[in-house]
Structure 1
Amino acid sequence: MEASKKQKKKLVKKLLHKYRLLIINEDTYEERLSIRLTRLNVYVILGLSAIILIGLTTMLIAYTPLKEYIPGYTSNNVKKEAIELIYKADSLERIIQRNNIYYASVQQALKGKVSIDSIDIKSPVDSLSAEIEIERLNMKPSKVDSLLREKVAQEDKYNVFDVAVAETNVKLFPPLKGEITNTYNIAEKHFAVDVAAEENTPIKAVADGTVIFSGWTTETGFVLILEHLDGLISVYKHNASLAKEQGDFVKTGEVIASVGSTGDFSTGPHLHFELWSNGYPLNPTDFIEFN
């Protein structure tokens, strides 16, 4: 016990023992500076200096651009750009999903599985999110509306396709030249012409337009659909390959695909070609000379 007290006193004495720090001119031995110090003073000064140095370094790194030079640190600009890209990617993903649903509906309609009238061609994106409470609507038609509906029904009964043909008075570029092996037949619901040709023969666009579908279906193989002006749509099925992607703009006579025999419904190398105007099928031979 006594020994430990002596050691403590000895330690305190060492810490408090005074020293003098002298700075002397070596040539003249003139005293320039004299400081009285103890070991405790030195330890305290060194400790405070280290704390101040660490604090200043931390503040310098935290509040100045120097932190961007630290390995592994991501700059604010990079973070901002990454966040913007995430938002853009999310928005584009939603738009693509909605457009895919719309184009799938168009595809089903062209196969005859869905009524074309149920597709909102003018606003495919908005129509997907619209929710209508039918029970709140007044569905009782007016007298004028009833007469108009009756008139339209009579027209639809006798000359639906004739009206569509009359409204589409254009001549189109032939997608290819060849022999028609299966003609347009409303009674059999074959709203197309099948044109036989050698495999890999180039298929061309009948008019300027935009590719609204470019992909594969089990029944009809590689399919490409073009949307033209005035509600005109041209459809090319059973292709061996496709030269255009969805969203591409094509010019009249531009190669868009090649003849093939893809899909379960194909009977050999040929082009299954359809024309639609505002939701109604047209006889392609009324507008195109295939021979």
Structure 2
Amino acid sequence: MSNKKKERKLAKKLLHKYRLVILNEDTFEERFAIKLTRLNVFVLTSISAILLIILTTLLIAFTPLREYIPGYASTSLKRKANELNTKTDSLQKAMLMNERYLASIKSVLTGEVKTEDFNRDSILKAARQDIDFSQVLPNRQDSLLREKVDKEDKYNLFEDNNTANFVLFPPVNGAISEAYNLEEKHYAVDIVVPVDTPVKATADGTVIFAEWTMETGYVMIIEHSQELISVYKHNASLTKTQGDLVKAGEVIAMAGNSGQFSTGPHLHFELWSKGYPVNPTNFIDFE
């Protein structure tokens, strides 16, 4: 009997009606009123909590907010990170190659070409000891053939048979004030010309350097086929920029007297074949 009384008392408490009233503080006018029971309040609170949890879960699961949760890894972010890592690695390799390339160009501009010192006499002596020349002396026909080939190849700058039509065009015409000299490390010829004389490309190629330098003024370097490079220094101005394609005989600069090392209006012209300097007068008639 006591248990039933307790249950009735509990049910009475849960179902007992209360009135929630909102009054105006100054006039005590009733603005809002609602009837409530303890059971209604409990049910509404539970439903609100459940709805809040569901909405929060949906918001986190289906919106970009989930990426801000500690420990959550985004697939798109991982993919972008991998792409950026690959691009960074490629850029580092490209920068390294460009640094090496610019270093080689700098050595050409400044004339810093290293020569290997070795004892040629000892090498020739060792070769003679290894080979018995008495058994390999050429006959008359072989000697005549060798002489003919030497004459044909005397002014041949290229080894490839496909370069028979490769002709070097004189960049300017004039008197040579300083000739090519290996001993003095002057790997060029200086041709005296008036200021603003058009300087022409010696062959078809691509401009790989066209800038101002303190020592040699306006400098242009052109890369040709067959690993040939031509260099033009002390110009008054340049008409081509790096990356331009030029044809043989096309005007690329105007001759001048620029740079600290210039002693007067002239063109400083160099030829490099496969990384080694060659005498331009062997292949070009400047006069």
Contact 1:15 1:40 in 2 (8 A): no
Name the amino acid aligned to 2:97. Answer: R
1:254 equivalenced with 2:250 (yes/no): yes
Name the amino acid aligned to 1:55. Answer: T
Contact 1:205 1:252 in 2 (8 A): yes
SS where residue 94 of structure 1 aligns?
helix
Aligned to 1:91: 90
Deviations 1:212-237 (A, max 9, x none): 44444432233222232333221111
Deviations 1:159-189 (A, max 9, x none): xxx9996431763112233443333344544
Contact 2:218 2:258 in 1 (8 A): yes
Aligned mates of 1:76, 1:88 — CA distance in 2: 19
Aligned mates of 2:16, 2:129 — CA distance in 1: 113
Deviations 1:65-100 (A, max 9, x none): xx9xxxxxxx97698567535633542343233333
Contact 1:209 1:250 in 2 (8 A): yes
Aligned to 1:44: 46
Aligned to 1:233: 229
TM-score where L is the length of structure 2: 0.58
Name the amino acid aligned to 1:16. Answer: L
Aligned to 2:112: 113
Question: In 2 relative to 1, CA 80–149 (structure 1 residues): closer, same or farther, beyond 3 Å?
Answer: farther
Task: Map residues 81-160 of structure 1 onto 2, 5 A cutoff.
Answer: 84=83, 87-108=86-107, 111-115=110-114, 146-147=126-127
1:167 equivalenced with 2:160 (yes/no): no
Contact 2:167 2:203 in 1 (8 A): no
Question: In 2 relative to 1, CA 205–252 (structure 1 residues): closer, same or farther, beyond 3 Å?
Answer: same
SS where residue 38 of structure 1 aligns?
helix
TM-score where L is the length of structure 1: 0.58
Name the amino acid aligned to 1:94. Answer: K
Aligned mates of 1:231, 1:85 — CA distance in 2: 36
Q: 2:219 aligns with which of 214, 218, 223?
A: 223
Contact 1:208 1:228 in 2 (8 A): yes
Aligned mates of 2:191, 2:261 — CA distance in 1: 15
Aligned mates of 2:110, 2:56 — CA distance in 1: 74
Aligned mates of 2:250, 2:129 — CA distance in 1: 42
Question: In 2 relative to 1, CA 149–285 (structure 1 residues): closer, same or farther, beyond 3 Å?
Answer: farther
Aligned length: 222
Aligned mates of 2:184, 2:124 — CA distance in 1: 36
Aligned mates of 1:278, 1:268 — CA distance in 2: 31
SS where residue 101 of structure 1 aligns?
helix
Aligned to 1:244: 241
Aligned mates of 1:110, 1:149 — CA distance in 2: 42
CA RMSD for the aligned pairs?
4.5
Name the amino acid aligned to 2:127. Answer: L
Identity of aligned residues (%): 47
Contact 2:59 2:65 in 1 (8 A): no
Deviations 1:251-282 (A, max 9, x none): 32333333232221112332100123344433
Aligned mates of 1:95, 1:149 — CA distance in 2: 49
SS where residue 233 of structure 2 aligns?
strand
Question: In 2 relative to 1, CA 228–219 (structure 1 residues): closer, same or farther, beyond 3 Å?
Answer: same
Q: 1:277 aligns with which of 256, 273, 277?
A: 273
Larger Rg: 2
Contact 2:203 2:247 in 1 (8 A): yes
SS where residue 264 of structure 1 aligns?
coil
> Which sections of structure 2, spanning at least 5 residues, go unmatched?
1-9, 18-37, 68-73, 118-122, 132-150, 159-165
